[in-house]
Amino acid sequence: MMRQYELVERVKRYNPSADEALLNRAYVYAMMAHGNQKRASGDLFFGHPLEVAAILTDLKLDDATIAAAVLHDTVEDTQATLEEINKTFGPQIGALVDGLTKIKRLDLVSKRAAQGENFRKLLLAVADDVRVLLVKLADRLHNMRTLQFMPPEKRKRIAEETLDIYAPLAGRMGIQEMREELEELSFQNLDPEAYEAIRRHLNELSTKSEKLVEEIEQTLTTKLRAQGIEATVTGRQKRPYSIWRKMERKSVSFEQLSDIFAFRIIVGTVDECYRALGIVHTSWPMVPGRYKDYISTPKQNDYRSIHTTVIGPGSQRVELQIRTWDMDEVAEYGIAAHALYKEGVNDNSRLATESRAYQWLRRTIDLLAEGDNPEEFLEHTKLELFHDQVFCFTPKGRLIALPRGATPIDFAYAVHTDVGNTAVGCKINGRMSPLLTELQNGDEVEIIRAEGQTPPAAWESLVVTGKARASIRRATRAAVRRQYTGLGRQILERAFERAGRPFSDEKLKGALPRLARASVEDVLAAVGRGEMFSGDVVRAVYPDYLDERRAGSDGRGAGQPDGAARKGAGENTGGIPIRGLNTDVPIRFAPEGGAVPGDRIVGIMTPGEGVTIYPIQSPSLAAFDNEPDRWVDVRWDLESGSAQRFPARIKLQSINEPGSLAQITQVIADHDGNIDNVSMKRRTHDFTDITIDLTVWDLKHLNAIIGELRAKRVVSRVDRVTG
């Protein structure tokens, strides 16, 4: 276990002016608070927060963060209180410990709680100070280093969560070394056989290639020095998880991989980066398609470097990263490399201007306020965590970074939610292109918009960014809500008219407390969805109103719909049109018999499904007699000359003789009817029952077909089925 003076020395190595007294106080306080508590390994619990602090000293973090790391388990696991921490160490450290305590409480219920909800709350906890996230990542890293002491089932769950969430999150924060170690430890626990096999292969290859690595390092250093560039060149072997992922992605064996080694060239200035690149490319042939310039277009986690691959000595593929010392520090320490934390100042506004990683984190946290459930939020964020990036431009030159595989729809939502919601087309590099085109690096994208447009729900499954998916889902929900709100308003207007009472939003607003709804729109939508009866709304607005139908005073029984509700067809010009749709509420026809223009019709609302249209004479309507709020006044609203068919069903008794079915179908065909389905059942030896589903233009058309069928000798009876 690390001693008190060792902790202070580790901090003073990179920060000679560190607050030694603060670190000593934190050490002693935490040691006394944890006492003889033990971990699953049998070691003293106090060793864990010390190891977390040690990891953060490698990131060269400020005194407050190191002290918070030492104290991070005290409030949750000991008798210490947050008030005590605030009083002893100040509000800044108290706030850090409080954020970490909230996250720790999430872990205690993670067996039962959804992983998405934990991740959601994790990001909310770090919203005020990203240092909370850095301590949490270090905490997870030490837990992974000691994971072997956990039961197998728990070990697997923690490793999966680490690989899914914490490792990519460390990568997004730019802390590459931590990300790689988290991936490595997760891989080791999730698939020990594959890990061991790859590690063995790498060890064998390392022994064979030791001299080749030294040769490449020396050759590069010599060539650069000859051109006046002093550079540090280091080669390293890729890690087992990185190798395994590439094998899986490309479906190749270990022996087929040619770029096992990567070399880093670190120089003094940006100018020397590009000069070094020129020297490398003129010395060895470049592998096409393997050049990336992250200096001119940095990654969202602030990573800057030039990547290239060449065919080096011995025809060996050599991956190279060329960067400055400052870039190398950001590549290693990510968001922790910002001078802000070395000064110990908590000022998120300054960090936001310095760090792309922090800007991404804030945008991700902003998604939390947009109404997605935890599982959706986790899915969206994981998509962005794992995807590589493409860089595109607006016509005005603004750079937009997107996950690989993104479309112009993703681009539109990245620019602004309103741009995405109103997008109807796009130009890519000046040419009209489909909205589902996969974007490439350097594309200039212009979004064509149409005001009043609503994004199709199908877009949600076609986009790749979390923001686009969340926005499309939100817009779709809003559109559906508007549909049900409109339907609910029409139902209530009719209900108040039947009751002989005036209806207005102001009157409805006064009844909101009695209806237990927050707004008029909530009431209208609830009525439209069938979650609230219109009669209950009338009584909430007018408590003295007595519904005679419920009292049964009209002799028809409680709840039976009145004449106006049963009238249906065209007599009420305020009814819901079926065609020339003025509303997007789903409309369908009665499954047993349908309905055709010329029928008097009525609509029955089914919550969540829309309105079903029945002929007024349908016996199925009797099932809804006690549910008057589901009856909707509807009418036909067909344009003159409309070429649309409607469903109907007829039932025949036919003489059982050869050719009888042919004669029946010929009559329908001669009268321009269209048969959708035919079913036959032998009734007796001499007669067959035939049911035919067909589509016709209107009631006159249907009656003409029925009349012609009745005239046929082979048909003894024919009737229309009305459900």
Handedness of CA 562, 563, 567, 572 (dihedral sign): negative
Contact 528, 485 (CB under 8 A): yes
Residue 358 lies in a domain: no
Given 641, 664, 697, which residue is the final one in a domain?
A: 641
Query: For position 425, what pLDDT does the model report?
Result: 92
Residue 345 lies in a domain: no
Integer Cα distance of 177 and 58 in angstroms: 11
Same domain flag for 50 and 165: yes
Phi and psi of 486, rounded to 5°?
A: -65, -45
DSSP symbols for 56-112? HHHTT--HHHHHHHHHTTHHHHSS--HHHHHHHH-HHHHHHHHHHHHHHHHHHTTTT
Q: Model confidence at 324, in pLDDT bands (50, 70, 90)?
A: very high
**Per-residue CA distances from 141 to 60, 240, 336, 405, 603 (Å):** 16, 18, 16, 31, 62
Give the mean model confidence (pLDDT) for residues 348-369.
Answer: 54
Contacts of 143 (CB under 8 A, 6+ apart): 48, 158
Which range (151-165, 336-350, 389-403, 427-441) has the least confidence? 336-350
Give the mean model confidence (pLDDT) for residues 507-522.
Answer: 86
Please compute, for residue 667, the number of CA atoms within 13 A of its CA located in the half-sphere on the CB side. Answer: 22
Q: Which residues pair with 22 in a beta bridge?
A: none
Integer Cα distance of 660 and 712 in angstroms: 10
Q: Where are the alpha helices (DSSP H) in 451-582?
A: 466-499, 505-510, 512-515, 520-528, 534-541, 548-551, 563-567
Contacts of 109 (CB under 8 A, 6+ apart): none
Please compute, for residue 547, the number of CA atoms within 13 A of its CA located in the half-sphere on the CB side. Answer: 25
pLDDT digits (tens, 9 = 90+) for 43-62: 888 899 999 999 999 888 88
Q: Model confidence at 404, in pLDDT bands (50, 70, 90)?
A: confident
Q: Model confidence at 110, in pLDDT bands (50, 70, 90)?
A: very low
Output DSSP code: residue 460.
Answer: G
Mean pLDDT value across the chain: 80
Residue 378 lies in a domain: no
Give the mean model confidence (pLDDT) for residues 529-552.
Answer: 73
Residue 550 lies in a domain: no
Give the mean model confidence (pLDDT) for residues 666-684.
Answer: 89
Query: In the predicted model, is pLDDT for residue 207 greater than 60?
Result: yes
Residue 351 lies in a domain: no
Angle at 673 between CA 602 and CA 690, to 5 degrees: 85
Query: For position 290, what pLDDT does the model report?
Result: 81
Give the mean model confidence (pLDDT) for residues 56-69.
Answer: 89
DSSP symbols for 156-174? HHHHHHIIIIIHHHHHHTT
For residues 109-135, one letter each, b for 16 or more C-beta atoms within 10 angstroms of the residue's C-beta and e for the rest, the string is: eeeeeebbbbbbbbbebbbebbbbbbb
Q: Describe the chain by its helix, strand, coil percentages, rounded to 5.
A: 55, 15, 30
Query: For position 559, what pLDDT does the model report?
Result: 35
Contact 388, 403 (CB under 8 A): yes
Q: Model confidence at 288, in pLDDT bands (50, 70, 90)?
A: confident
Query: For position 664, what pLDDT does the model report?
Result: 93
Output DSSP code: residue 680.
Answer: E
Integer Cα distance of 601 and 588 in angstroms: 12
Contact 253, 247 (CB under 8 A): yes
Give the mean model confidence (pLDDT) for residues 303-308.
Answer: 90
Integer Cα distance of 341 and 62 in angstroms: 5
Which residue's structure tokens are 């099932």? 623
Q: What percent of the chain has pLDDT over 70?
A: 81
Residue 611 lies in a domain: yes
Output DSSP code: residue 381.
Answer: H
- Domain containing residue 409: CATH number: 3.10.20.30
Integer Cα distance of 456 and 476 in angstroms: 7
Query: For position 202, what pLDDT does the model report?
Result: 83
Same domain flag for 23 and 164: yes
Same domain flag for 100 and 82: yes
Same domain flag for 38 and 169: yes
| Best CA proximity match to 363, nearest among 338, 384, 389 | 384
| Best CA proximity match to 320, nearest among 337, 302, 305, 335 | 305
Q: Model confidence at 349, in pLDDT bands (50, 70, 90)?
A: very low
- Catalytic positions are 76-77
- The SS3 of residue 237 is strand
| Best CA proximity match to 334, nearest among 363, 300, 306 | 300
Handedness of CA 522, 527, 528, 529 (dihedral sign): positive
Query: For position 126, what pLDDT does the model report?
Result: 62
* Residue 297 vs residue 434, higher pLDDT: 434
Integer Cα distance of 410 and 457 in angstroms: 14
- Domain containing residue 212: CATH number: 3.30.460.10
CB atoms within 10 A of CB 188: 19
Query: In the predicted model, is pLDDT for residue 373 greater than 80?
Result: no
* Residue 383 vs residue 674, higher pLDDT: 674
Handedness of CA 544, 547, 550, 555 (dihedral sign): positive
Query: In the predicted model, is pLDDT for residue 571 greater than 70?
Result: no
Same domain flag for 30 and 167: yes
Domain with 435, as residue range(s), is 387-463
Report the residue count for the chain. 723
Given 641, 671, 690, which residue is the final one in a domain?
A: 641
Token digits of residue 152:
């197998």
Token digits of residue 469:
């998916």
> E strands of 200-316, at which residues?
232-237, 261-267, 292-293, 306-311
For residues 318-356, one letter each, b for 16 or more C-beta atoms within 10 angstroms of the residue's C-beta and e for the rest, the string is: bbbbbbbeebbebbbbbbbbbebbeebebeeeebeeebb
Q: Model confidence at 448, in pLDDT bands (50, 70, 90)?
A: very high
Same domain flag for 214 and 294: yes
- Domain containing residue 61: CATH number: 1.10.3210.10
Same domain flag for 187 and 75: yes
Same domain flag for 131 and 147: yes
Contacts of 531 (CB under 8 A, 6+ apart): 607
Integer Cα distance of 466 and 120 in angstroms: 13
Integer Cα distance of 165 and 119 in angstroms: 8
Q: Cα 460 vs. chain centroid, distance in angstroms? A: 9
Query: In the predicted model, is pLDDT for residue 668 greater than 70?
Result: yes
Same domain flag for 182 and 200: no
Give the mean model confidence (pLDDT) for residues 261-280.
Answer: 92
Q: Where are the alpha helices (DSSP H) in 516-659?
A: 520-528, 534-541, 548-551, 563-567
Contact 213, 235 (CB under 8 A): yes
Same domain flag for 171 and 22: yes
Give the mean model confidence (pLDDT) for residues 352-360.
Answer: 57
Same domain flag for 81 and 186: yes
Residue 666 lies in a domain: yes
pLDDT digits (tens, 9 = 90+) for 572-603: 334 455 643 345 677 888 988 899 888 888 88
| Best CA proximity match to 466, nearest among 419, 406, 424, 390 | 406
Q: Give burial (CB, 10 Å; 0-12/13-18/19+) of 171.
A: buried
Token digits of residue 564:
């106006």
Token digits of residue 439:
């974007």
Token digits of residue 578:
């079926």
Contact 444, 343 (CB under 8 A): no
Q: Model confidence at 378, in pLDDT bands (50, 70, 90)?
A: low
Same domain flag for 712 and 609: no
Query: For position 512, what pLDDT does the model report?
Result: 87
Which residue's structure tokens are 């914490």? 166
| Domain count of the fold of the chain | 6
Integer Cα distance of 603 and 613 in angstroms: 5
Residue 133 lies in a domain: yes
Query: In the predicted model, is pLDDT for residue 365 greater than 90?
Result: no
Task: Give, to the nearest 10 degrees, the angle between helix 47-58 and helix 63-71.
Answer: 160
Given 191, 212, 245, which residue is the final one in a domain?
A: 191
- The SS3 of residue 253 is coil
pLDDT digits (tens, 9 = 90+) for 479-508: 878 878 888 888 888 888 888 889 888 888
